[in-house]
Structure 1
């Protein structure tokens, strides 16, 4: 009996060693084999970029066989690149245009977060808020001195985003009633939210707009029609300049691309959205 017990123990130990050698590493789909590296490419909106950067870090930590590259360029660039097949996912901070859908009817949008566009000035500016109409008049070139809106006697320097920016397109749609901003040579264009913030923080005369996630102590976000931009006021709809943020695919996503997008939309991904200063999906 003692001999049989020893044999049984040896048999069980051997089986445990065999099965322990089949334990699946993270990201191998449970097959117990080493998978080839999978690659995903993302390009587009600089507003969406902070979400992508953090989501990619978390996703690839769980799936080390997946490599994901993220680049900016603006929403227009993201839509163009995913349409032509040069990236897997386009990132956009605006709705698709009719012309884009007509050119590539297979484009599919995936809402990953909500956002607001904050109007910002230098922290030293005494202005605390403006009406939507005053903002429109400033960016249209009708108001050129802060004195005209209850501020200091100081010339206004308007900073805007470049052509193709989703933030600019949304601002022009929601604030400018679909029209453009002043075409004055004094209006400065910047290629990203970060560049806008840096310019405004260094110029006491400047006024511009950025996604809510780019607000920090280096700039002052103004109230609009008496409402401060925040996750709460954007979430409840009281702040008037808000939008959705999107991933865009050419056709319904499959495989690793679908798994990554699903991750961003799941609870863990939405915690990243909130941490980056945006509003998670309800």
Structure 2
């Protein structure tokens, strides 16, 4: 009797092992902004394709570009246009969504609208009191992202927050600015400080803070799609041409399909189809 039970267990174990071996892992790393929607896409796809496991890691856009180039991840993610120095003929870029960058303040802040010029002056440190831009007589607490962030890179480009130092292009954001590692950290800082201003991905907006109009236009998916809200950037997925497996390619094709893009839209981002 024991031998029969043992044999049955061995067969079951072999079946489990075979199933586990057959399951393919797809690795994706990079932008923390893209990670938010990619995790939802990955979970939905896995539920429909049990033989596929998708591992998503938020490591920053710069790290995502490197991971795609050196093959440490099948796919890299970036929440900005690639720099000329990052582009390679073999590096394939796929736009999976477009996203607005929302300029956010604490709910207690009375302001509703700022111009691009006013925002740039705040981030350069040229405006240090809210009264200088029509708000209360209170100090401005500037919150930015870390230098590896694609959101920061896109924000600096759009707002003209770059300057030349000894022939090199560097950030013009004030060194006094607080640095938040990820949308969640920036949200927490701004939501808990009545004098703070920050910027986050459009899909991260919620009732814990206030998203300002920029040049009179509110940050919405519709405004980004129409081109009216211009503080926007692409969500990129990168891979070495011909490198990803068939399963990985199937997943990426699904992401840009009507079904995948419906999920992109449901998460507050702008679909590409």
TM-score range, shorter chain: 0.7 to 0.9
Please state how far the C-alpha of 1:105 moved relative to its aligned partner: 3.5
Deviations 1:91-116 (A, max 9, x none): 11011111112xx4411100000110
Please show how residues 127-206 of structure 1 align to structure 2 within 5 Å: 127-176=111-160, 178-179=162-163, 180-184=171-175, 186-206=176-196
Q: How many residues align?
A: 247
Deviations 1:77-101 (A, max 9, x none): 1111111110001011011111112
> Does the aligned pair in 2 maintain the 1:118–1:221 contact within 8 Å?
yes
TM normalised by structure 2 equals 0.87
Deviations 1:212-271 (A, max 9, x none): 001000010000000001011111001120111111111144401110001110111111
**Residue 211 of structure 1 aligns with which residue?**
201
> Does the aligned pair in 1 maintain the 2:114–2:213 contact within 8 Å?
yes
Which structure has the larger Rg? 1
Q: Unaligned stretches of 5+ in structure 1?
A: 1-32
> Does the aligned pair in 1 maintain the 2:146–2:181 contact within 8 Å?
yes
| Partners of 2:196 and 2:148 in 1: CA distance | 22
Counterpart of 1:174 in 2: which secondary structure? helix
> Does the aligned pair in 2 maintain the 1:141–1:181 contact within 8 Å?
no
Find 1:121's aligned residue among 79, 86, 105: 105
Q: Unaligned stretches of 5+ in structure 2?
A: 1-17, 164-170
> Does the aligned pair in 2 maintain the 1:114–1:245 contact within 8 Å?
yes
TM normalised by structure 1 equals 0.84
| Partners of 1:248 and 1:217 in 2: CA distance | 33
**Residue 76 of structure 1 aligns with which residue?**
62
| Partners of 1:193 and 1:50 in 2: CA distance | 10
Counterpart of 1:123 in 2: which secondary structure? coil
CA RMSD of aligned residues (A): 1.4
Find 1:108's aligned residue among 83, 88, 92: 92
Please state how far the C-alpha of 1:181 moved relative to its aligned partner: 3.3
Find 1:233's aligned residue among 197, 211, 223: 223
> Does the aligned pair in 2 maintain the 1:128–1:223 contact within 8 Å?
yes
